[in-house]
Chains A and B, each alone.
Chain A
């Protein structure tokens, strides 16, 4: 096992890793920019190193600075957290060359999943379902009819050269195909000077369902069920829950096994997330994140596991502590992301925290690097905390979330807390009935 780990990150996720290190008896090294000299992760770690100026390009994203910090402190391994260098294959390659262990997957796996096309091809080869579509351009209507029958309706016809919604037409069934196909082609011709189009199954109200996977790098892998992260604004998740309110145990077992088997075949090491669009019982691969996710605590809550501890263990060459058989779901968990942002436009709102009070009590977890008097610097992400609640069932978790949000005090800056009070009053949220479009539509309706 490692004696000392460097955390190449800041904010709540740096604290998350420091906490796991402390419980494992491993010394922790915080790195920080000049703007973060007074940050909580610097205060909480056993050692700290200033690695650069305010700009993250020259500090948290600077590979030479982080490697040098590792060398002067004698840290044997680096935990990248999420964001920053966590999915940078070149960084991982350099660490391998410097005999520093990266607590995460191999550079090769990061590279494969970091490229949209190779990721999709790899997923297909591993038996992971992807959105059905034509293999390439569809030259004429006769071919379009054949392809349509294969991939199923509704489908969408898109310009190969396209973008921005032009040259895109939806056909709900075969009777609409001919008009849709011909207008898509003429629009594509007019807009892009190229009338080549391709076809894909069209998802109307999909949910974002992601499967947590974990591998030991030696061919053993498990899944830890799903998280529903459909509530998003501009592709940013704001509210995540596990288990997914619409996923049946059978669906979970089926897609979970596909994902775990795929990771075992890849000999994937550590934590990963396979993201899907889900509609009417079908899963369609979007991408794979080769790292710990922001929303990992909801999975930890329902399975009673410590994913960061497990990441550190397998990175050190130890055995995975869990097996598929002993991973059992207990209750329901919800996470909300507290951002320093002003509603309704979600404008970033840096500033000084005049008072911070974290909620507590049964089933409440607050992961945050805030403290009284802390100044949120304007240079980084606006996430200032994650409130995670766990209940025996979804209704208990919802009630607990409402109660805990009421206890939370963050004074001095605007936050997204009022949004969650409003969401909890919505019958759709209470029922768990929402798609990836729900939040954007609700925001447009509520705030105009």
Chain B
């Protein structure tokens, strides 16, 4: 099994997990025949279990991929099992590259903490770029479920900053 087909398998399983989530399914199983003695059998199941992902607990059910049986699938790490915060519907992506700050100035109270209720448009953190402090507003009202960056962390465009739902 080459690295390339391994990567393809992982991507395939991830795509299945996304399909499962998108269409609100609970189970999906597929068999792919690549050739003699070379097949991939995948079963992806969504369970109502609580997955704990550092640093904060996730309440929402995460899609769980259960690669089964076939050696190829066994070789694939449980890639799809780890939740990607970016795909979370409440994810707040950074609108710019820069440095994230959780408080208005060093030592001050942070704008929000995990569990806080926020209004739409309320500043939840700052991203500094070129000495300009850009206030990042909450895209919608809700509860801060997770804060994924530390104070002073460099962030890229699209980095998930928080989960608000």
Contacts and interface: CB of A to CB of B under 8 A. Distances in A.
A164 B157 CA distance: 44
B98 interface: yes
Nearest to A66: B97
Nearest to A37: B158
Given A64-B132, A72-B154, 18 more contacts: A49-B97, A50-B97, A50-B159, A51-B156, A52-B157, A64-B129, A65-B157, A67-B130, A68-B96, A68-B97, A68-B98, A68-B128, A68-B129, A71-B130, A72-B97, A72-B98, A72-B99, A98-B130
B97 A65 contact: yes
Given A64-B130, A64-B132, A65-B129, A53 B157 contact: yes
Nearest to A98: B130
Interface in B89-110: 96-99
Of B97, B132, B158, chain A has the most CB atoms within 10 Å of the CB of B97
Contacts of B157: 34, 50-53, 59, 65
B130 to A, nearest CB: 5
Interface string B137-165: 00000000000000000111111000000
Given A64-B129, A64-B130, A65-B129, A71 B99 contact: yes
- Give the interface residue-count category, chain A: 10 to 19
B75 to A, nearest CB: 21
Contacts of A65: 96-97, 129, 157
B94 to A, nearest CB: 9
A69 interface: yes
A71 B99 CA distance: 9
Nearest to B129: A68
A52 B96 contact: yes
Contacts, number: 48
Nearest to A48: B156
Interface string B115-132: 000000000000011101
B7 to A, nearest CB: 10
Contacts of B128: 68
B99 to A, nearest CB: 6
Interface in A31-53: 34, 49-53
A69 to B, nearest CB: 5
Interface in A46-92: 49-53, 59, 63-65, 67-69, 71-73
A239 B61 CA distance: 58
Contacts of B156: 49-51
Of B98, B155, B156, B157, chain A has the most CB atoms within 10 Å of the CB of B157
Interface of A: 34, 49-53, 59, 63-65, 67-69, 71-73, 94, 98
A63 B132 CA distance: 13
B97 A51 contact: yes
Nearest to B128: A68
Contact of B97 (A69, A94, A98): A69
B134 to A, nearest CB: 9
Nearest to B134: A64
Nearest to B158: A50
A89 to B, nearest CB: 17
Contacts of A52: 96-97, 157
A117 B89 CA distance: 54
Nearest to B7: A373
Nearest to B127: A68
Q: Which 9 A-B pairs have the closest CB atoms?
A: A72-B154, A68-B129, A50-B156, A68-B98, A50-B157, A64-B130, A68-B97, A51-B97, A67-B130
A69 B159 CA distance: 13
A309 to B, nearest CB: 28
Nearest to A373: B4
Contacts of B96: 52, 64-65, 68
A258 to B, nearest CB: 41
A163 to B, nearest CB: 40
A352 B154 CA distance: 33
Interface in B12-32: none
A52 B93 CA distance: 11
Of B99, B129, B155, chain A has the most CB atoms within 10 Å of the CB of B129
Nearest to A69: B97
A63 to B, nearest CB: 8
Given A49-B97, A50-B97, A68 B130 contact: yes
Contacts of A68: 96-99, 128-130
Contacts of B155: 72
A49 B94 CA distance: 13
11 contacts: A34-B158, A49-B156, A50-B156, A65-B96, A65-B97, A65-B129, A65-B157, A68-B97, A68-B99, A71-B129, A71-B130
A67 B158 contact: no
A197 to B, nearest CB: 49
A50 B132 CA distance: 19
Contacts of A63: 130
B8 to A, nearest CB: 10
Contacts of A53: 157
A419 B98 CA distance: 45
B160 to A, nearest CB: 12
Interface in B57-95: none
A348 B34 CA distance: 35
Contacts of B130: 63-64, 67-68, 71, 94, 98
Contacts of B99: 68, 71-72
A34 B154 CA distance: 17
